[in-house]
């Protein structure tokens, strides 16, 4: 052992699946689900980063995908970290997620950085085709106990 106790990482897995409306209200709902799930289970993944990246995935699905169906958020908490997927009805892949863009984001624009953040801050990310469109996902590792913020008293 490297000095860590058995309680350094969560020992149980948990999953949530929720349909979200194709509107801006989906973003705060998704953030709240991730924040609540990570906090309630005292999961070791970085909650702030998980919230930010989830918000980016959901916002992209709402703003940049075709189709009329709802989007779906899937959150899997595993002992090794968290896996977040957002499903949408548009089969077109988000090419900038797995390949660097051919130009730098414009610093004066409010958008254009979401997929860059996901690529940069996640341990892994990607997309895959589904029966009804596509899923875009990212993974974050569980943080060792010494790097987690202290629990509120």
* Closest C-alpha among 49, 59, 7, 60 to residue 140: 49
Average the pLDDT over 117-140 and give the result: 93
Q: Is the pLDDT of residue 2 over 60?
A: no
Query: 9-13, 122-126, 137-141 — which is least confidently predicted?
Result: 9-13
Q: Is the pLDDT of residue 9 over 80?
A: no
Sign, CA dihedral 146-40-75-10, equals positive
Q: Is the pLDDT of residue 28 over 80?
A: yes
Instruction: State the Cα–Cα distance between residues 67 and 92, nearest whole angstrom.
Output: 11
Per residue in 106-127, pLDDT (tens digit) is 555 555 567 888 988 999 999 9
- CATH classification number, 14-147, choose in 3.30.565.10, 1.10.645.10, 3.40.50.300, 3.40.640.10: 3.30.565.10
Domain residue spans of the chain? 14-147
Average the pLDDT over 85-105 and give the result: 76
Residue 41 burial by Cβ neighbours in a 10 Å radius (0-12, 13-18, 19+): middle
Q: Is the pLDDT of residue 150 over 60?
A: no
Band of the pLDDT at 40, cuts 50, 70, 90? confident
**Structure token pair of residue 37:** 């799930």
Of 115 and 97, the structure prediction assigns the larger pLDDT to: 115
Q: pTM of the full predicted structure?
A: 0.79
- DSSP summary character for residue 72: E
């Amino acid at each position: 052992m490297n000095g860590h106790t058995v309680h350094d990482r969560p020992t149980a897995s948990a999953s949530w699946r929720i349909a979200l409306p194709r509107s801006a209200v989906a973003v705060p709902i998704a953030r709240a689900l991730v924040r609540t799930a990570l906090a309630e289970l005292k999961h070791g993944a970085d909650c702030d980063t998980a919230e930010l990246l989830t918000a980016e995935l959901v916002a992209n699905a709402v703003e940049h995908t075709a189709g009329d169906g709802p989007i779906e958020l899937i959150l899997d908490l595993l002992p090794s970290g968290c896996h977040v997927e957002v499903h949408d009805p548009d089969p077109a892949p988000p090419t900038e997620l797995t390949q660097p863009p051919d130009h730098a984001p414009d610093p004066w624009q409010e958008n254009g950085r979401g997929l860059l953040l996901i690529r940069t801050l996640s341990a892994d990310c990607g997309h895959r085709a589904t029966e009804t469109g596509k899923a875009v996902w990212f993974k974050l590792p569980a943080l060792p106990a010494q790097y987690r913020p202290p629990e509120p008293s």
